Amino acid sequence: MRKVFLVIVTTCLNFLCFSQNLNFYGFFPSYSQIGTINRRLDYNFFASVNNSAFAKTLAETYYPPKILQVYFQPSIIYKFSPNLDFAASITYNYQRINPDAPYVKEWRPWQQVVFSHTILTRARLSHRVRFEQRFQKNTLTEVQSFVLRLRYQIGYMMPLQGKTLDTNEFYLNAYNESYFTLSNPATNPRVAFYSENWTYIGIGYNTAKLGRIEIGPLYQTAYINPQHDRRNLCLLQLLWVTTFNPKKRINPKS
Amino acid sequence: MKKALLLFAFFFSFNAFSQSDKNIRNKNVPALVKQLIQKTYPNAHNINYYIEKQNDSTFYEAVFKYQKDNYTLLISSTGKLYKTEIIILYDQLPLPVKDTISKDLTTRFEKYIITKVEQVNPHHELNYELTIIGKMGHKEGYFEVYYNRQGSFISVEEETLKSIPSNSGF
């Protein structure tokens, strides 16, 4: 038993000694609007910013507090059935992996399918698969690259005060998303096939007039080199979701 | 810190009583409501209760499985039954009713699939609610079709599709 304990401790220490993980903490304010186009189509506009909010010195390198990502994502959603949606987008992303790295500009067309079903009477479990084509350009080196990526997200949403989420009620939202880099371009060699993972849990409130407001911690971890050192980002996400239905605006009495 | 917690608790409790369709613990359900269920559906277990407010009246909604069917009952605090909904299979409908409904659906829809059948108030003004995926004229999608006890058509409503809420917001 003592030997096993020693092996575990030694392994952990070994891991800690050799890993050069970068840990940052910051904020992730984001806004999402969903609107109806017609019976079958909805649109979504999502915008967010995230940052490393605190200055840090890691392995003798100084990392100042900086904005890490600015993200704009308009998308079109095709509602196939109450439990199945398809969506596509051309997203703009301006991102750096850490406060010391140069920014990368990116245009990202993607296509996705979402399937959802109820579990435990009132909770909803959703499965999302997204296929991305990433056209990236390093702002420092001007090097361009094209990367293909697949993402799988499993999400759980549950009203906390009844069977359905009504106005002025709280809800629980959680998800885990795995990122798989499919291509390995010479200009931007892939560091891992399973390259990134995001985990989030939040509490939301469905207001009567202002939509949903949600807050919770988001943990992002990504491999940053072939040695599998990781960049870990602990963010406090504040999400505001509104809906827009033009028909209701035109005929407020109907 | 204590003040913040008190404020949060006050805010939460205010909302818990101001809206409809709220969870309620088994021990807080009036005895008359429980008695009605035990009497009518003996051995019903795993009952989930919700409080529902309709026009200033308080009702208790009981959701449970009984003899392989899913039941939803709406009961007043005095133990009076207001509404019963039972999810059944299409084949469980009485044969003449099933034939009448099938004929009506064929005339009404170019093509259709029945995804859910609900029997509403079986002991009073019985209605059947059918959820259909179908094509009716130029409209193709999800519909709720209502029939009476004899299987005669009452009304049809098209269900508005909503996109699945994104967990990440994007």
Instruction: Answer yes or no: is A89 within a domain.
Output: yes
Residue B75 · residue B121 · CB < 8 Å: no
| Contact residues on chain B for A48, CB-CB shorter than 8 A | 169-170
Dist. CA A83–CA A87, nearest whole Å: 13
Q: A169 vs chain B: nearest CA distance in angstroms?
A: 7
Band of residue A251 on the pLDDT scale cut at 50, 70, 90 = very low
Q: DSSP letter string over A126-143?
A: EEEEEEEEEEEEETTT--
- Give the domain CATH number at A60: 2.40.128
Instruction: Tell me the pLDDT band of A248, cut-offs 50, 70 and 90.
Output: low
A72 is a domain residue: yes
Which chain A residue has the Cα nearest residue B169? A32
In the predicted structure, residue A1 carries a pLDDT above the cut 60: no
Distance CA B163, CA A42 (A): 7
Closest residue in B to A32 (Cα) is: B169
Give chain B's mean pLDDT.
85
Residue A69 is assigned to a structural domain of this protein = yes
CA distance B36 to B32: 6
Task: Pull the structure tokens for residue A119.
Answer: 């579990």
- Report yes or no on A199 lying in a domain: yes
The answer to whether residue A250 is domain-embedded is no
A121–B164 C-beta distance less than 8 A: no
* pTM summary value: 0.80
Domain assignment of residue A225, given as a range: 2-244
- Residue A251 is assigned to a structural domain of this protein: no
Q: Residues A177-206: what's their mean pLDDT?
A: 94
Indicate the pLDDT class of residue B2, thresholds 50, 70 and 90. Answer: low
Query: What is the average pLDDT value for chain A, to the nearest integer?
Result: 89
A45 belongs to a structural domain: yes
Residue B14 has pLDDT above 50, yes or no: no
Specify the DSSP element, H or E, that contains A32: strand A22-36
Q: What is the rounded CA–CA span in Å between residue B41 and residue B29?
A: 17
What's residue B68's pLDDT? 83
Distance set, CA B117 to CA B89, B90, B144 (Å): 6, 6, 10
In a domain, A252, yes or no: no
The answer to whether A50 and A31 are in contact (CB under 8 A) is no
**CA-nearest residue of chain B to A200?**
B168
Contacts of B167 in chain A (CB under 8 A): 126, 128, 153, 155-157, 173-175, 200
Give the pLDDT band of residue A5 (cuts 50, 70, 90).
low
More confident residue, A42 or B125: A42
Count of domains in chain A? Answer: 1
A46–B21 CB contact, under 8 Å: no
Which chain A positions have a beta carbon within 8 Å of B61's beta carbon? 163
- Of residues B48, B63, B161, nearest to A79 (C-beta): B161
Of A3-17, A56-70, A142-156, B42-56, the range with the lowest mean pLDDT is A3-17
Instruction: Give me the residue from B63, B133, B167 closest to A173, CB to CB.
Output: B167
Give residue B54's pLDDT: 77
CB hemisphere CA count around A179 (13 angstroms): 19
Model confidence band, residue B138 (pLDDT cutoffs 50, 70, 90): confident
- A100-152 per-position pLDDT tens digit: 899 999 999 999 999 999 887 789 999 999 999 999 999 999 999 999 999 99
Per-residue model confidence as pLDDT tens digits over A30-40: 999 999 998 89
